[in-house]
Amino acid sequence: MGTTQLESVPEPKYWHLKTVLTEALDSEFSVGEILPNERDLAARFGVARATLRQALEQLELEGRLQRRRGVGTTVAPPRVGVAVGTEQHIWPGTATDAWQPVDSTVEAPSAAVAAALEIGHDQSVHIVRRSRMTHGQPVAAELLYIPEASVPELSAIDAPSGPARARAVLRELQRLELEGQDSAVELGSARADDAKQLDRLPGAPVLVVTTRFFAEGRTAALSVATYRADTCRLTFGDSGGVEIHQDPERRAS
Amino acid sequence: MGTTQLESVPEPKYWHLKTVLTEALDSEFSVGEILPNERDLAARFGVARATLRQALEQLELEGRLQRRRGVGTTVAPPRVGVAVGTEQHIWPGTATDAWQPVDSTVEAPSAAVAAALEIGHDQSVHIVRRSRMTHGQPVAAELLYIPEASVPELSAIDAPSGPARARAVLRELQRLELEGQDSAVELGSARADDAKQLDRLPGAPVLVVTTRFFAEGRTAALSVATYRADTCRLTFGDSGGVEIHQDPERRAS
DNA sequence: GAGTGGTCTAGACCACCGC
DNA sequence: CGGTGGTCTAGACCACTCT
């Protein structure tokens, strides 16, 4: 009876692997360093490649690793904090805007969008696509839904297409005075077009931030922004940077 | 050359599967209904079980399915919106509190926690464990770190242990007047203890909400709350319920 | 073309739940 | 106990990137 515990709950191999790798990342690797390839790592740990991949996938989900097909697996930098809660950073068109307009179209809204905007299913909306960059990397792709009622002066289409068109819509929208906003965050997986914009594969985990903007007593716009879950930490509130994790502090080489 | 496109980008099977299943969920299934088991489903679609599971995993990640070992796969209800942004709902001990105290200990803080609380590594902190319920289901597990300086009257330990002890700490903390707070959201995977509290397997995807509470010009407390990513939509701001998804509206049988 | 990660297979066994 | 989802294997081929 003096032995170690009988292990009534044997730990899955991939879970143990993840722990070992986490410790290795904390102590033996520096940011940007490339790991051995999956086949070598699997052999080194004496497991099947699929099992190793299960561990790597979790580590990537937690933002510790970055994997790129055809290239390799590298140690990821700490997640970047991106502000999503302060009005200044979000209300389209503000000076310190991290968003880049991509293009814009006019379409009939889906039922869900129409409901959130409190408009009829037949009233068309402007859809502005934007892209958010941080440190030269794309971190978010956004679809901004704007009822035509919010930009009444835009009846005649002056701007041809592309970014110019998007900017024209945003310029009109900016005339409204923002009265409040309302956000929700949930986990999703990247649609094919978002994935391309975010430089990820389709299905990659993303944080979907849905924001309603209120002006003139109505819902003036609806933003659905998908952020890369692996590289982003969304910050709300006054100051911008909490730097806390459950695990011990990390170090660089 | 009159044929369909040459498909220079063949869609992965699991991705196509996911699409098919999503449509089936939207049109042919109602919330709570149980799906055929994985072996049958795989056979029906003519794929290996592992491939089918890849599709199911994504659907579970998106909150469309719920899988329980030994039981089966069921159609998940829409995600519940949980408010995390309003001070009233979070500041410990408020009347309309959805949190249930579990227990409390005094420990030396990890380096990361000490840094966030701006205290020395040697000053011990109270750690209060709480659990958040919604609709009878556990949705979040929290660790609240409270420097002893924030609850000076608590030097003598009156309450024995467990929930009573936790409540005593919270009661003291509540004396402080909250001056502000500061949150960040990121994706993580559940640690073993959190997973048990959330009724999930270790490694399950969670949304980690890190909140700093400010009072008396200091960081008075630090909360690290892990929410079930599959069932929760975190809401910030005034009103509580945005109900938007990228996909068409869902229906019930 | 060589090397990487991404997809897929067919099978096995295990842990858990409810009967 | 039978049925479920969870883990694991050993192999194959594909898509991509870089040189």
Which has the closest alpha carbon to A140: A92, A195, A185?
Answer: A195
The average pLDDT across A24-34 equals 93
Instruction: Provide the β-strand partners of residue B207.
Output: B187, B227
Provide the pLDDT confidence category of residue A3 given band limits of 50, 70 and 90: very low
Q: Using 50, 70 and 90 to split pLDDT, how confident is the model at A13?
A: very high
Amino acid in the structure at residue B109: P
pLDDT reported for residue B159: 58
Question: Can you give the pTM of this predicted structure?
Answer: 0.88
For strand D, is any atom closer than 7 Å to the CB of B9? yes
Residue of chain A whose Cα is closest to the Cα of B87: A237
pLDDT band at A92 (very low <50, low <70, confident <90, very high): low
pLDDT value for A77: 95
Q: Which two tokens stand for residue B250?
A: 């869902």
Contact A235 B184 (CB under 8 A): yes
Q: Flag the least confident range among A75-84, A127-136, A161-170, B150-159.
A: B150-159
Q: Does residue B119 have a pLDDT over 80?
A: yes
Q: Does the nearest atom of strand D lie within 7 Å of B203's Cβ? A: yes
The pLDDT score that the predictor gives to residue A171 is 85
Q: Do A182 and B212 touch (CB under 8 A)?
A: no
**Please, which pLDDT band fits residue B4 given cuts at 50, 70 and 90?**
very low
Q: Is the pLDDT of residue A133 over 60?
A: yes
* Element holding A167 (H helix, E strand): helix A162-173
Instruction: Measure the CA angle with vertex A111, ends B21 and A198; round to 5°.
Output: 65
Given a cut of 90, whether residue B134 has pLDDT beyond it is: no
pLDDT at A105 over 70: yes
Cβ–Cβ of A112/B235 closer than 8 Å? no
The pLDDT-based confidence of B251 (bands split at 50, 70, 90) is very low
Residue B25 DSSP class: H
Q: Do the chains contact at A243 and B182, CB–CB below 8 Å?
A: no
Type of residue numbered B150: S
Look at strands B218-228 and B99-107 and give their pairing. Answer: unpaired
Given this model, what pLDDT does residue B88 score? 52
User: For strand D, which nucleotides have at least one atom less than 7 Å from a protein CB?
Assistant: 2-12, 14-18
* Interface contact A229, partner B, CB < 8 A: yes
Interface probe for A, chosen from B64, B129, B189, B246 (most Cβ of A below 10 Å), is B246
Task: Please check the confidence at residue A200 and state whether its pLDDT lies above 60.
Answer: yes
The set of residues with CB closer than 7 Å to nucleic strand C is A 9-10, 35, 37-39, 49-50, 53, 67-73, 201, 203; B 12-15, 46-51, 54, 68-71
The larger pLDDT score, comparing residue B100 to residue B64, is at B64
Residue A244's pLDDT band, with cuts at 50, 70 and 90, is very low
Min distance B231 CA to chain A CA atoms (Å): 9
The Cα of A113 is separated from the nearest Cα of chain B by a number of Å equal to 7
Burial B105-114 (b: 16+ CB within 10 A, else e): eeeebbebbb
Report DSSP state, residue A149.
G
Confidence of residue B54 (pLDDT cuts 50, 70, 90): very high
A1 vs A155, residue with greater confidence: A155
| pLDDT (average), residues A219-224 | 93
State the pLDDT at residue A156. 59
- The per-residue pLDDT for A99 is 85
A246 touching chain B per CB within 8 A: yes
Task: For helices A13-28 and A49-61, give the axis angle rounded to 10 degrees.
Answer: 60
Please say if the pLDDT value at position B157 is more than 80: no
Interchain CB distance below 8 Å, A224 and B212: no
Among the partner residues A62, A184, A239, nearest to B235 by beta-carbon distance: A184
**What would the pLDDT profile of B160-179 be if each residue is shown by its tens digit?**
677 888 888 888 888 888 88
Mean pLDDT for B130-137 is 86
**Where does the pLDDT of residue A179 fall: very low under 50, low under 70, confident under 90, or very high at 90 and above?**
confident
Per-residue pLDDT at B87 = 58
Q: Which residues of B touch A191 (CB under 8 A)?
A: 246
Angle at B141 between CA A76 and CA B85, to 5 degrees: 80
A226-237 average pLDDT score? 92
- Spatial distance between the Cα atoms of B99 and B102, rounded to a whole number of angstroms: 9
- Going by pLDDT thresholds of 50, 70 and 90, the confidence category of residue A159 is low
| The pLDDT value given to residue A5 | 43
- The 10s digit of each residue's pLDDT in A54-70 is 999 999 999 999 999 99
d(C-alpha B25, C-alpha A183), whole Å: 27
Q: What is the mean pLDDT of chain B?
A: 84
User: For residue B239, what pLDDT is reported?
Assistant: 46
Å from the B70 CA to the C18 C1': 8
- Looking at chain A from residue 10 to 49, which residues have their Cβ under 8 Å from any Cβ of chain B? 15, 18
Tell me, rounded to whole angstroms, the distance of Cα A152 from its chain centroid. 32
With CA atoms as reference, the chain B residue closest to A80 would be B186
CA–C1' nearest nucleotide, residue B203:
D6
Is there a contact between B187 and A61 if contact means CB atoms under 8 Å apart?
yes
Determine contact: B80 vs chain A, CB below 8 A. Answer: no
At residue A88, the pLDDT reads: 52
pLDDT confidence of residue B6: 44
Q: Name beta bridge partners: B99.
A: B132
* A30 CA to centre of own chain: 24
Q: Which of A151-165, A176-190, A205-219 has the lowest mean pLDDT?
A: A151-165
pLDDT (mean) for A145-152: 88
Range A153-185 burial, b when 16+ CB lie within 10 A, else e = ebeeeeeeeeeebbbbbbebbeebebeebbbbb
Q: Check residues B94 and A170 and name the one with the higher pLDDT.
A: A170
d(CA A73, CA A3): 39
How far B140 CA lies from chain A's nearest CA (Å)?
14
Strands A137-147 and A218-228: antiparallel
The rounded mean pLDDT for chain A is 84
How far CA B246 is from CA of A142, A190, B174, in Å, comes to 12, 10, 41
Q: Do B112 and A248 touch (CB under 8 A)?
A: yes
> Quick one: CA torsion of A197, A201, A204, A210, rounded to 10 degrees?
20
Q: Is A236 helix (H, G, I), strand (E, B) or coil?
A: strand
Give me the percent of chain A exceeding a pLDDT of 90.
Answer: 54
**pLDDT at res. B122:** 87
Structure tokens at B246: 């990228």
Closest approach of B166 to chain A, Cα-based (Å): 21
| Chain B residues near residue A244 by CB distance under 8 angstroms | 112-113, 116, 210, 222, 224
Q: How far apart are CA B125 and CA B142, in angstroms?
A: 15
With a cut of 60, say whether residue B64 has pLDDT above it: yes
* Pair B103, B161: CB distance under 8 Å: yes
